[in-house]
Amino acid sequence: MSVPRDYDVNPRRFALGSRSPAARALYVRLAERLRPFARVLDVGCGDGNLRAESPQVVGLDGSMTMLRAHPAPRVMGEAAALPFRDGCFDAVTAVNMLYHLPDPLLAIREARRVLRPGGLFVAVTRSRADSPELAEVWRPAATTFDAEEAPALVGEVFERVEVESWDAPLVTLGDRAAVRDYLVTRFVEPADAGERASRVRTPLTLTKRGAYVYGSS
């Protein structure tokens, strides 16, 4: 199932999770890979996490709330119908966003259309086996673009696919309030999240699992 888009009605949920040191490390690593590319489109750019590390990024997002917080250049738009001509970007990224689409292939095909020949597509997403230490109180729901299926989906559009996975104890939740907030970022209602957090022993270190999936032709 696709993940709901609540960025205009509940921006706080996203904000609770997006500024952690582990999250920042993800963008720093991606920015390193993007360094040789002059024209980079970040589809589903949010409020600018990648742009903070990659100054050449043009942001595109379907949420006005998110886009307002993203530095220019930025464009309001839909991942499945990009408002750009063919071949005008050297790289296109889609970081933690393709799981919002009922059919992510529509957006991956659009990314390929706006890429120049030999350009790089990068999708980042998480695994269904993320944060196993929370298993007694919460499990991630399957989405339309989990790390388990992402390489095959990208491979339907691009000839070459490269996967770089992570599977490491990257996040420590210091107390129950931190566990509650983490669960809220993963769409658990706040009251329910508080109750579930009360059953968890803290501090709790979480194993984060996900992947960068690179596509090129």
Residue (of 25, 42, 24) closest to 34 by Cα position: 42
**47 vs 90, which CB is nearer to ligand SAM?**
47
Closest separation in Å from C-beta 199 to ligand SAM: 27
Q: Binding to ligand SAM by residue 119, rule CB under 6 A?
A: no
- What is the rounded CA–CA span in Å between residue 40 and residue 111? 11
What x/- string results for residues 1 through 40 when contact with ligand SAM is judged by CB under 6 A? ----x-x------x---x----------------------
Cβ closest to ligand SAM, residue 2 vs residue 207: 2
Contact 150, 125 (CB under 8 A): yes
**CB environment 111-136: b (16+ within 10 A), e (fewer):** bbbbbeeebbbbbbbbbebbbeebee
User: In this structure, what are the phi and psi dihedrals at residue 11, rounded to the nearest 5 degrees?
Assistant: -60, -20
Q: Which of 45, 134, 193, 197 binds ligand SAM (CB under 6 A)?
A: 45
Measured distance CA(108)–CA(134) in Å, rounded = 32
Question: Distance between terminal CA atoms of the chain?
Answer: 29
Tell me if residue 180 falls in helix, strand or coil.
helix
- Select the span of 57-65, 83-91, 141-149, 157-165 touching ligand SAM (CB under 6 A): 57-65
* Smallest distance from ligand SAM to CB 97, Å: 4
Of the candidate residues 96, 143, 144, 216, the single one contacting ligand SAM (CB under 6 A) = 96
CA 17 to CA 25: how far, in whole Å?
A: 13
What's the min distance (Å) between Cβ of 123 and ligand SAM? 11
Interatomic CA distance for residues 174 and 30, integer angstroms: 27
Residue 95 binds ligand SAM (CB under 6 A): yes
| Shortest Cβ 180–ligand SAM spacing (Å) | 19
**Cβ proximity to ligand SAM, 96 vs 127, nearer residue:** 96
Interface contacts to ligand SAM, rule CB under 6 A: 5, 7, 14, 18, 44-46, 49, 61-63, 66, 78-79, 95-97, 100-101
